[in-house]
Amino acid sequence: MKSKKKESGANGGDCKGIKKGLQVNRRYHGIVPPLVTPLKTPEKLDPAGLRRVIRHVVDNGVHGVFVLGSTGEFPSLTQKTKEQVVEITVEEVNGKVPVYVGVSDPNFTQLARNAAFVKKAGGDVIVCQPPFYFPLGNDELVVFYERLAERAELPIILYNIPTLTKVCLSHEVIAKVSQNPQIIGLKDSQGDMSYLQTMLGYFRERQDFKIFVGVETLIAECVLFHAHGAIPGGANVAPRLFVDLYEAALKRDFKTIDKLQSQVMRLSAIYRHGRFWSSYLKGLKAALSVMGLCQDTLTETFDSFHPEAIEAIRGELKELDLI
pLDDT at position 25: 59
Q: CA quadruple 72, 73, 79, 84: dihedral positive or negative? A: negative
Report yes or no: 52 and 113 within 8 Å, Cβ to Cβ: no
Q: What are phi and psi of 22, to 5 degrees?
A: -85, 150
Condensed to tens digits (0 to 9), the pLDDT of residues 108-143 reads 999 999 999 999 999 999 999 999 888 899 999 999
Of 52-56, 130-134, 141-145, 319-323, the least confident = 130-134
Alpha carbons 111 and 119: distance in angstroms, whole number:
13
Residues in the chain: 323
Percent of the chain with pLDDT over 70: 92
Q: Is the pLDDT of residue 17 over 70?
A: no
Residue 290: φ, ψ to 5°:
-60, -35
pTM of the model: 0.91
Q: What domains lie within the chain, and their CATH numbers?
A: 15-252 (3.20.20.70)
Position 21 scores a pLDDT of 36
pLDDT digit string, tens, across residues 152-192: 999 999 999 999 999 999 999 999 999 999 999 999 999 89
One-character DSSP codes across 90-126:
HHHHTTSS-EEEE---SSHHHHHHHHHHHHHHT-SEE
pLDDT at residue 2 greater than cutoff 70:
no
Residue 168 to residues 129, 130, 219, 246: CA-CA distances in angstroms? Answer: 10, 8, 20, 26
- DSSP secondary structure letters along 11-80: TSSSEEEEETTEEEETT--EE--B----EEETTEE-HHHHHHHHHHHHHTT-S-EEESSTTTTGGGS-HH
Give the pLDDT of residue 26. 72
254 phi and psi, to 5 degrees? -70, -30
Q: Is the confidence at residue 72, as pLDDT, over 80?
A: yes
| DSSP-assigned beta bridge partners for residue 188 | 160, 213
For residue 207, the model assigns a pLDDT of: 84
The pLDDT of residue 24 is 52
How high is the pLDDT of residue 18?
Answer: 37
Indicate if the pLDDT at residue 4 is higher than 50. no
Share the mean pLDDT of the chain. Answer: 92
Residue 12 in this model has a pLDDT that exceeds 50:
no
Residue 20, pLDDT above cutoff 70:
no
